[in-house]
Each structure stands twice: as structure tokens, then as C-alpha cells.
Amino acid sequence: MKKTLLLSILVLLPGVTLAQEQTDLTRYNTSVSFALESNELKVLTELTIPVSALTNNKAQLFLNKSFDIDDIAGESLKEYSVSPSKKVPPWNEVTLSFESVSKVHEVTVSYRGEIDEAAGHGNFIASKGIHLSIDSAWHPFYKNFATPMQGELEVILPQKWKVYGPGSVSMQNNAHQMSVTKDRIDVSFYASPNGNEYTDGNFTVVYDKANKDRAKRLATAGNNCLAALNGKFGQTEELESASLVILERAGPSFARGSYLSVSSQGGRSKQQSYHYICHELAHNWTSLGNAMSHDYWMMESFAEYVAAEEVKLNFGTEAYEKVLAAWKSRAKKQSFVWRADIEQRASSKVNYGLGPLKLKQLKAQIGEEKFARLLHWYMTEQVTETEQLLKHLKELTSDEDALWFRLLLEGRKTDSA
Ligand SMILES: [Zn+2]
């Protein structure tokens, strides 16, 4: 009786979620401190690992190979092993084996080590700042690059530093606390001792000396695109703000939700930057299913499609034609986007080339109005499987159109439509 009452109060209270109850999600509660003069970090992380994240009662994680592991412990932990990864040589594979009785396993891992900036992956710990991403495997994450995590990260640094990442950051107990409430496959952040940032509306660009001149332009581009996408898709889930960190660094550019980290290399044009930012922001609305499956194309191809539409609106048809040309050149020799009986994730040539081209063809087939409805549905509902998309297309149009698109994705239709 009491329980029922409590539950109904919780349900009635706005904004109260029962997220803590969720037992199928990996959570981390991590604290990291640094020795800036020696490029070192020291980490204590408490991982909550659900059975759904295990294979044969084992969790397989990556961690930087040069780190010294002080301790790995957990009540239901049977044993663990650490061995060099064959797939990614600078990383170790940490395999945790559990007793099969529990539904959720709690493990603490403590380790320390040095981040070598010269390794060329764009990660560093220094007095100029701290940039840590998946490329250094500074924090444990799943070996399949797909199992999501959420959690709390405590970054122990002087108060005058600022921390940026894919979550909200606040000061708690004299430390910077980042709270990540969306699924991510890794833990990443940037910390700056001087807080060089430029904000336009809801978009903040954080920059180093080398990128000072680009900050304003990028912030304006980011804010414009953020406003445009919120206008189109933000009715149910608004992206309130986002930040982009631009640094003179090695390593790839990447995005984690509202946190974008790009290197200054590449010299993107105004239009390319806008396209890139819009693509990454669009991912706020593209649901991630299994990142290694044949359904992954939807996420990337829809984000590409949405970004290209923004380019067209802002820079005109000529700029849009350039995007189309890039899609076409990527799509060369790619024979299909998706097939029900092939389970692997498609190549980037498909995801960023052939896929968006097929969406464009679909629009020509069913007309702008119906396509706009399909796009809006995809961007605002939890759509993670191609079969879902085909089913909704059928409801929106006809059996014939849905079959036509299925064959188009399968590469069993000529491109003349
Ligand atoms: Zn993407």
C-alpha cells in the first residue's frame, strides 16, 4: 500500500525519473586527479555493470596499456585478466569475470599512468590544459565500441579551471563534477586553465591561442544551426546548448552529443564547418541502436541529410551541389545500404555517401510533404531499426513505396527513379 502511494507520488511529480532503478545500463562513478608536471593521472572508478553488458559472464573493457592498475575488486568478481590488445596495440584488454548469480555487478578499478602527448592521438595532460578522449583509453570502456555508459565524473583541478564535456558540469566539494545522462560509449572531456571561450547564444567555442581567430565564426555557425535544428525537431527534446573545443592538436575530431572536439588541422571552409557542426548536432535526435549493426546507417545518413539541408538553406544550391558531389564520390562502387540478412555495420562510404543519396531519392519518390513527415518522425521517435522505418513508410505512403525503398536500400533497384 505504502509502496503504491510512493510510486504514484513519484509519477505525479514533474521531472522525477526512476533512472536510478534502471538495471540494464552501465554506470560509472569516477574520480580523476592529475600531476600536470609529469603528465600523469590517477583514477578511481566504480563501475556498475548489468548482466546485459556481459558475454559468458564476462565484461571486456579497454584501458591504456601504459597504466599501472593498483586494484580491481568487486563482491561478485570471480577473477580478472589484463592482456595487450591485438586489435588496438596501445591498449590493454581488461576482462572481468563474474559470478552468475547477481543481476548487476559492482566493481572498483583504480589505476594511474602517464598520457604521452607525443603518441599523436591528441590527448594530453599539461599546464596548458587537459584533453582526454577515447583515443588514449584513459577511462575503461567496452571493447565492442558499442555498449553505452552513463555516469558521474569528478575532475579534481583548481577552481579557476573550466571543464567541458558531454554533460552538465558544476562545482561540488571543491571539484568539477560532470554528470552524463545520455548514452555514450566512452568518457571524454577538456579542461582549460584560462577559460578562453566565445559564446554566441547557446553555443560556446572553447579555443587555444592558435584558434582564437576562428572562435567567433564557429560560435555563430553553431548557434545558428542549433536554433535551426531545435526549430525543426526540438519540440519533444530540445538541445539547450552545445560546446565545441578547437585545439591545435593531433588526432581526429569527434563529437559526443553536445560536446564537439575538433583539431585545427584540415582548414575547413565556412560551409564545411557549418556542415560538420550541423551533422554532429543532428545526432542529438538520431537514436543510437546497436552501433555495430546493419541499422547504423540510419543514424549517419539522416544526420548527413539534415546537415546538407541546412547547408542548402544557408549557403544556397551551389554549396548543396558540392555536398551531393561528395556523397556521390563516396558512394562509388558501393552496391547497397542495408540488407535484412547482412548483419554487419556498413562502411563509412555507405553511411556518409550512398545512404543520404538514397534518402534523397526517397524524397523524390514520395514527395516533399510525406518525406518531411517521415524525417520528423525519425528524428523525434526512438527509431533504431530499418524495419521500423520501412513499416512507418508503409503506413505513411503505400505498400508499393515501402517495397520500392526496401529494394533501393538493398541495391536491387536501378537508380533511375
Ligand atoms: Zn555522425
Q: Which amino acid is at 309?
A: E
Asked whether residue 20 carries a pLDDT value surpassing 80, the answer given is: no
Average pLDDT over residues 150-175: 96
* 3-state DSSP assignment of residue 135: helix
Q: How far is Cα 343 from Cα 104, in angstroms, rounded to an integer?
A: 29
Do 184 and 67 fall within a single domain?
Answer: yes
Top-confidence residue, 266 or 375: 375
The CA R_g of the chain, rounded to the nearest whole Å, is 23
What's the gap in Å between 38 CA and the centre of ligand 1? 35
In a domain, 320, yes or no: yes
Do 212 and 187 fall within a single domain?
Answer: no
Give the pLDDT score at 266: 57
Give the pLDDT score at 90: 93
Do 318 and 271 fall within a single domain?
Answer: no
Give the pLDDT score at 391: 98
pLDDT, tens digit, for every residue of 349-395? Answer: 999 999 999 999 999 999 999 999 999 999 999 999 999 999 999 99
What's the gap in Å between 227 CA and the centre of ligand 1? 19
Q: Which of 250, 253, 225 lies closest to 239 in space, CA to CA?
A: 225
pLDDT, tens digit, for every residue of 82-137? Answer: 999 998 999 999 999 999 877 899 999 999 999 999 988 999 999 999 999 999 99
- Angstrom distances, CA of residue 65 to CA of 85, 96, 358: 9, 16, 42
95 neighbors 224 (Cβ within 8 angstroms):
no
Kindly report the pTM of this predicted structure. 0.85
pLDDT, tens digit, for every residue of 272-320? Answer: 999 999 999 999 999 887 778 999 999 999 999 999 999 999 999 999 9
203 neighbors 226 (Cβ within 8 angstroms):
yes
In a domain, 288, yes or no: no
What's the gap in Å between 219 CA and the centre of ligand 1? 20
Give the pLDDT score at 9: 44
Do 271 and 325 fall within a single domain?
Answer: no
Average pLDDT over residues 224-240: 95
Read off the CATH number of the domain in which 182 is found: 2.60.40.1730
What's the gap in Å between 194 CA and the centre of ligand 1? 30
Buried b (16+ CB within 10 A) or exposed e, 304-338: bbbbbbbbbebbeeebbebbeebbeebbeebebbb
In a domain, 8, yes or no: no
pLDDT band at 195 (very low <50, low <70, confident <90, very high): confident
Asked whether residue 338 carries a pLDDT value surpassing 50, the answer given is: yes
Give the pLDDT score at 3: 43
Cβ neighbours for 3, distance < 8 A, ≥ 6 positions apart:
none
Do 375 and 343 fall within a single domain?
Answer: yes
Read off the CATH number of the domain in which 381 is found: 1.10.390.10
What's the gap in Å between 303 CA and the centre of ligand 1? 6
Give the pLDDT score at 268: 76
What's the gap in Å between 211 CA and the centre of ligand 1? 24
In a domain, 72, yes or no: yes
Give the pLDDT score at 314: 96
Which residue stretches of 209-269 are H helix?
215-233
358 neighbors 406 (Cβ within 8 angstroms):
no
Number of domains into which the chain is organized:
3
What's the gap in Å between 260 CA and the centre of ligand 1? 11
What's the gap in Å between 255 CA and the centre of ligand 1? 8
What's the gap in Å between 289 CA and the centre of ligand 1? 14
pLDDT band at 15 (very low <50, low <70, confident <90, very high): very low
Give the pLDDT score at 12: 45
What's the gap in Å between 272 CA and the centre of ligand 1? 14
What's the gap in Å between 306 CA and the centre of ligand 1? 11
Q: Which of 304, 309, 313, 293 lies closest to 356 in space, CA to CA?
A: 304
Do 216 and 265 fall within a single domain?
Answer: yes
pLDDT, tens digit, for every residue of 33-72? Answer: 999 999 999 999 999 999 999 999 999 999 999 999 999 9
Domain boundary among 171, 192, 213: 192
Give the pLDDT score at 267: 59
Asked whether residue 417 carries a pLDDT value surpassing 60, the answer given is: no
Read off the CATH number of the domain in which 266 is found: 3.30.2010.30
What's the gap in Å between 389 CA and the centre of ligand 1? 19
In a domain, 383, yes or no: yes
What's the gap in Å between 280 CA and the centre of ligand 1? 6
What's the gap in Å between 279 CA and the centre of ligand 1? 6
Least confident of 22-31, 32-41, 44-53, 325-334: 22-31
What's the gap in Å between 356 CA and the centre of ligand 1? 12
Give the pLDDT score at 292: 81
Average pLDDT over residues 168-177: 94
Q: How far is Cα 272 from Cα 324, in angstroms, rounded to an integer?
A: 13
Give the pLDDT score at 17: 44
What's the gap in Å between 39 CA and the centre of ligand 1? 31
338 neighbors 315 (Cβ within 8 angstroms):
no
Place of cell 525537431: 233
Domain boundary among 282, 312, 327: 282
What domain range includes position 223? 197-282
Q: What is the mean pLDDT of the chain?
A: 92
In a domain, 11, yes or no: no
In a domain, 2, yes or no: no
